[in-house]
Amino acid sequence: MTGNKAVAYKEPGKVELIDIDYPSFELQDGPGVNPANVGRTVPHGVILKTVATNICGSDQHMVRGRTTAPPNLVLGHEITGEVVEVGPGVEFIKVGDICSVPFNIACGRCRNCKERKTGICLNVNPDRPGSAYGYVDMGGWVGGQANYVLVPYADWNLLKFPDKDQALEKIMDLTMLSDIFPTGFHGAVTAGVGVGSTVYVAGAGPVGLAAATSAHLLGAAVVIVGDLNADRLAQARSFGCETIDLAEGGPAEQIEQILGVPEVDCGVDAVGFEARGHGHDAKEAPATVLNSLMEVTAAGGALGIPGLYVTGDPGGVDEAAKKGALSLSLGTGWAKSLSFTTGQCPVMKYNRQLMMAILHDKVSIAKNVNAKAITLEDAPRGYAEFDAGAATKYVLNPNGYLS
């Protein structure tokens, strides 16, 4: 039997490379697997040999101990792979195809999937609508930071790249299609970004940089990125963004220095529930980003909120935050008639168009997020450096496809 190594969460601040079973076309019991999913057969699935799988800020929330993730949960929902086995119910995907895997697991059969709401599929997670690989409370589908991974409903979920050689040449860009590029794009689209827009993106991590890239692709006139991390702000400036240093204070005054007015047309939250306040000694204050976005977004505007928020946070700053209850200035949002869009990005709504933009050289997402390939064995170092604030998107290379 072919061996399979994977990156697993062990305890707060610690991940390890462990041996796991080679995937089968039946869900097995294991860390985080919902009992109702154990024994579920997957004749519609394929097994992928992983080409690239990325470390995500959402993974980092679990690794910090900020969720209820159990020990030995195999991580990884950003997956690109080559098909090595197909189940008997797979009709169109073939062995040898190289494909992007949307991080949302979707059946393609339920009402929500048919309405393109693939982030809240009704049939893949017994706990709640919506699922993802290698993530807490998402049904227990094994993560993709491994040599091999099972993908269910393959004909529906997989985005096949049209030319294998071309895909491998652009793989560092294409690997971003599984999550952060569509997620950033979704944030920009739902914030209403269009030709001539002024945009404020809170957060210069990979999703924030992907949102800024997307705002440029959508025709924004000015894209402003705010963060407390100087290196990440420098990365945003490297592809034409204006930046504001939140260590120097809140965004309104700094936005006014750039635009002449203290507001923007569109706001994007690319931070989520571990947000910090403003100033040199900023402490965690999870409602800060949402409240500041409501302050600086023009009346009648919209907020795209791809940043992750949770219903269970053991490390929350108070009892309310531990349950995902934040002190939002909703009155501000109501008074300004602001629109809000939250939740998982429905990746399949955007990934094909963004693939075409990559293949035809309309965007350089890997360069913009400073993508760097490392080995699977180096994953613990990648997690540690990312947690320390590295302005890098770490791409794991489990099987040697990446140069």
- Domains along the chain? 5-179+346-397 (3.90.180.10), 180-341 (3.40.50.720)
d(CA 323, CA 313): 6
- Per the CB < 8 A criterion, the answer to whether 124 and 156 are in contact is no
Query: How far is CA 140 from each of CA 99, 109, 121, 125, rounded to the nearest angstrom?
Result: 22, 20, 15, 8
Q: Quick: pLDDT tens for 152-192.
A: 999 999 999 999 999 999 999 999 999 999 999 999 999 99
Pairing mode, if any, of strands 14-19 and 339-341?
unpaired
Query: Residue 180: helix, strand or coil by DSSP?
Result: helix
According to the model, what pLDDT value does residue 19 have? 97
Q: Give residue 1's pLDDT band: very low, low, confident or very high (50, 70, 90).
A: low
- Average pLDDT (264-280) is 95
Burial of 403: CB neighbours in 10 Å, binned 0-12, 13-18, 19+: exposed
Q: How much of the chain, in percent, has pLDDT values that exceed 70?
A: 100
The sign of the dihedral angle between the CA atoms of 174, 178, 181, 185 is positive
Q: Give residue 71's pLDDT band: very low, low, confident or very high (50, 70, 90).
A: very high
Q: Quick: pLDDT tens for 292-321.
A: 999 999 999 999 999 999 888 888 889 988
d(CA 58, CA 207): 10
According to the model, what pLDDT value does residue 312 have? 84
**Residue linked to tokens 């990005």:** 345
Q: Indicate whether 279 pLDDT > 80.
A: yes
Q: Quick: pLDDT tens for 85-121.
A: 999 999 999 999 999 999 999 999 999 999 999 999 9
For the chain, the average pLDDT equals 96
pTM: 0.96
According to the model, what pLDDT value does residue 375 have? 97
Residue 233: both structure tokens together: 């702000």
